[in-house]
């Protein structure tokens, strides 16, 4: 596996950055980003939800924060895959185990940086 900080310059290939997309290869368990013939390095993209604060600001003031049986969870999409965390009950003092979601990506450093740079929701 290569990291995004690996040394060396990937082959320069002409790309239309507006057409870069992650294509799931279900059989081999990775997302392909860029042309297969030059984008053959493997990467792992991981997202970890470890803690949260001020979650009460996300709901309306008329909602009871201490309603019995209320469950809350985190939901996000990672390269088109829906990810839902385990539920927790308390927004004021959320207590949950850290959760990690990972996807394997086949690409090269240059193309992957270009792809990630054009994702408006990433910070």
* Tens digit of each residue's pLDDT (9 = 90 or more) over 38-82: 999 999 999 999 999 999 898 888 877 666 678 899 999 999 899
Phi, psi of 19 (to 5 degrees): -105, 0
pTM of the model: 0.74
Overall average pLDDT of the 7-33 stretch: 77
Instruction: Provide the residue ranges of all domains of the chain, joining segments of one domain with +.
Output: 19-117
For the ranges 5-19, 49-63, 95-109, which has the lowest average pLDDT?
A: 5-19
State the burial class of residue 37 (Cβ atoms within 10 Å of its Cβ: 0-12, 13-18, 19+).
exposed
């Amino acid at each position: 596996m290569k990291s995004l900080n690996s040394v060396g310059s990937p082959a320069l290939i002409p790309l239309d950055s507006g057409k870069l997309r992650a294509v799931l290869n279900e059989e081999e368990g990775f997302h392909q980003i860029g042309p297969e013939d030059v984008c053959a390095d493997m990467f792992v993209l991981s997202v970890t939800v470890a803690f949260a604060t001020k979650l009460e600001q996300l709901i309306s003031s008329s909602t009871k924060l201490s309603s019995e049986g209320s469950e809350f969870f985190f939901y996000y999409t990672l390269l088109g895959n829906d990810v839902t965390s385990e539920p927790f009950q308390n927004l004021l003092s959320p207590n949950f185990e850290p959760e990690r979601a990972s996807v394997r990506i086949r690409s090269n450093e240059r193309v992957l940086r270009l792809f990630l740079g054009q994702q408006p929701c990433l910070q």
